[in-house]
């Protein structure tokens, strides 16, 4: 059964409605723009969803309404968020979006969290004619589906693994060991890594898949430790990223390069491992507060609103960029969703991450990147031309 929708009319509009009781001329308030989404608030997707996406949706709506509402082709209208818990369940997620776009007839939708949920929802949104700008989907297959209404903000597996392999080659790595979650995300990134390694002098000494929800990675980490690779690569989700890091420390596995994927960019990772323990760890990241003045303003606003909780240095930035694109598109085209889709598809967008341009569904303007924890900040270290800090090419011992 689909969870009941939670409707939130963020601050500014509610104040105006209250004032109308004392000022009759305010009774004719503009109709809210109804924005729908389903997101994980319970279940295994919650960690990523509640760091990288839903906080940004709430901050965006609050900021827009504080400014009088979102600009709809010259008219300010308040945003009403209509949302529900997808319970980290594909069927619930799809049914939620069917209701939002069908019987609820919302004006706009925002995407769910993760590659798997977006893979399920994207064809539905395309069929219903709703632009969907996904900041947490990493899948070549999604791009190859050629859905005109679907847009991927993140750098996809090939550019991300190419950047990683370029960095390893440039720093003398000759052997790698790989683990990957056995789902769309893990399989596609592992396949892209194998392609990126072709023609290099880097050998893969171990490659192991593991099931989602794994509770113990120590046996495979001991096996990898005994093979003494120069680099470890994990295509992992937040719980697995932390598990692999903790258990690598426990079994005494400390390669020169230690790379994990989703969640490495989270403040939680630094807090759990401690800043000293996280030092030198590499992962999927693409920005931080040094990236642009807009990135600094966003970082500060997010941290203030959520009582010191920082955005992550990868997908949070993509999520905010997607909301910047959506906001600019609505100002330009209004709520005509076909016109909005055309605007998204055919415009070079100015965002906190820099220019974003879509070729089909894929963001082809943002290069693949590698980031690294250094002195409490997740610094972009590769490619060097957009780095916020120089790579530390030898991870210190775990602390």
Both 261 and 229 in one domain: the answer is yes
Count structural domains, the chain. 2
Which pLDDT value is given to residue 165? 98
Both 122 and 207 in one domain: the answer is no
pLDDT digit string, tens, across residues 254-263:
999 999 999 9
Within a domain: 320: yes
The CA-based dihedral angle spanning residues 280, 285, 286, 292, taken in that order and rounded to the nearest 10 degrees? -70
Within a domain: 31: yes
Within a domain: 396: no
Q: Where are the alpha helices (DSSP H) in 67-202?
A: 90-101, 115-128, 140-144, 157-170, 184-197
CATH number at residue 346: 3.40.50.2300
Both 334 and 379 in one domain: the answer is no
Within a domain: 392: no
Q: What is the mean pLDDT of residues 333-347?
A: 98
Both 220 and 270 in one domain: the answer is yes
Within a domain: 323: yes
Query: Which residues are within 8 A (CB) of 73 and not within 5 positions of it... i.e. 6 or more apart?
Result: 330, 331, 332, 333, 334
- Cβ-based neighbour number of residue 322 at 10 Å: 29
Q: Where are the alpha helices (DSSP H) in the chain?
A: 12-20, 46-52, 54-66, 90-101, 115-128, 140-144, 157-170, 184-197, 218-227, 238-251, 267-273, 275-278, 293-305, 315-333, 337-346
Which pLDDT value is given to residue 7? 64
Q: Is residue 15 very low, low, confident or very high in pLDDT (cuts 50, 70, 90)?
A: very low
Mean pLDDT of the chain: 94
Q: What is the mean pLDDT of residues 307-329?
A: 97
Both 34 and 47 in one domain: the answer is yes
Within a domain: 1: no
**In this predicted model, which residue has the larger pLDDT, 167 or 13?**
167
Both 264 and 380 in one domain: the answer is yes
Q: Which class for 128: exposed (0-12), middle (13-18), buried (19 or more C-beta within 10 A)?
A: middle
pLDDT digit string, tens, across residues 226-239:
999 999 999 999 99
Which pLDDT value is given to residue 174? 98
Both 47 and 186 in one domain: the answer is no
Within a domain: 342: yes
Question: Residue 211: phi, psi to the nearest 5?
Answer: -80, 150
Q: Is residue 27 very low, low, confident or very high in pLDDT (cuts 50, 70, 90)?
A: low
pTM of the model: 0.90
Nearest to 374 by CA among 275, 260, 238, 269: 275
Both 72 and 148 in one domain: the answer is yes
Both 300 and 250 in one domain: the answer is no
pLDDT digit string, tens, across residues 101-150:
999 999 999 999 999 999 999 999 999 999 999 999 988 899 999 999 99
Query: Which residues are within 8 A (CB) of 55 and not within 5 positions of it... i.e. 6 or more apart?
Result: 302, 305, 306, 309, 311, 316
- Cβ-based neighbour number of residue 310 at 10 Å: 21
Both 172 and 107 in one domain: the answer is no
Both 223 and 334 in one domain: the answer is no
Find out whether the peptide bond into 383 is cis, omega within 30 degrees of 0: yes
Q: What is the mean pLDDT of residues 15-34?
A: 62
Domain encompassing residue 228: 157-288+368-386
pLDDT digit string, tens, across residues 42-82:
998 999 999 999 999 999 999 999 999 999 999 999 999 99
Within a domain: 20: yes
Which pLDDT value is given to residue 29? 82
Distance between CA atoms of 37 and 167, rounded to whole angstroms? 38
Both 27 and 133 in one domain: the answer is yes
């Amino acid at each position: 059964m689909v969870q009941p929708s939670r409707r939130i009319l963020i601050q500014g509009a509610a104040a105006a409605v209250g004032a109308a009781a004392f000022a009759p001329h305010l009774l004719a308030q503009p109709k809210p723009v109804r924005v729908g989404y389903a997101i994980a608030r319970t279940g295994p997707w919650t960690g990523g969803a509640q760091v990288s996406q839903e906080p940004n949706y709430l901050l965006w709506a609050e900021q827009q309404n504080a400014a009088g509402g979102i600009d709809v082709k010259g008219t300010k209208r308040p945003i009403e968020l209509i949302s529900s818990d997808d319970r980290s369940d594909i069927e619930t997620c799809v049914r939620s979006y069917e209701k939002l776009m069908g019987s609820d007839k919302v004006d706009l939708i925002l995407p769910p969290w993760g590659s798997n949920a977006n893979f399920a929802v994207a064809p539905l949104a395309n069929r219903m004619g709703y632009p969907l700008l996904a900041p947490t989907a990493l899948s070549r297959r999604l791009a190859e589906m050629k859905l005109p209404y679907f847009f991927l903000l993140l750098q996809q597996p090939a550019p991300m693994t190419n950047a990683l392999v370029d960095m390893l080659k440039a720093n003398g790595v000759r052997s790698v060991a790989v683990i990957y979650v056995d789902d769309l995300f893990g399989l596609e990134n592992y396949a892209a890594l194998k392609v990126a390694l072709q023609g290099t002098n880097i050998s893969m000494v171990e490659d192991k898949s593991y099931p989602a929800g794994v509770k113990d990675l120590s046996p495979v980490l001991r096996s990898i430790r005994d093979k003494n690779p120069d680099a470890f690569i994990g295509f992992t989700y937040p719980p697995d990223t932390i598990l692999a890091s903790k258990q690598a420390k426990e079994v005494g596995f400390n390669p020169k390069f230690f790379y994990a994927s989703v969640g490495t960019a989270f403040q939680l990772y630094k807090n759990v491992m401690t800043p000293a323990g996280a030092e030198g760890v590499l992962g999927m990241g693409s920005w931080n507060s040094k990236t642009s003045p807009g990135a600094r303003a966003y970082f500060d606003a997010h941290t203030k609103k959520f009582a010191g909780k920082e955005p992550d240095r990868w997908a949070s930035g993509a999520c905010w960029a997607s909301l910047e694109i959506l906001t600019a598109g609505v100002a330009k085209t209004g709520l005509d969703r076909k016109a909005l889709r055309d605007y998204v598809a055919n415009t070079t967008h100015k965002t906190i991450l820099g220019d974003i341009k879509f070729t089909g569904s894929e963001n082809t303007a943002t290069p693949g990147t590698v980031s690294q924890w250094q002195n409490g900040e997740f610094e972009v270290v590769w490619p060097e031309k957009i780095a916020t800090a120089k790579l530390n090419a030898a991870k210190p011992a775990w602390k």
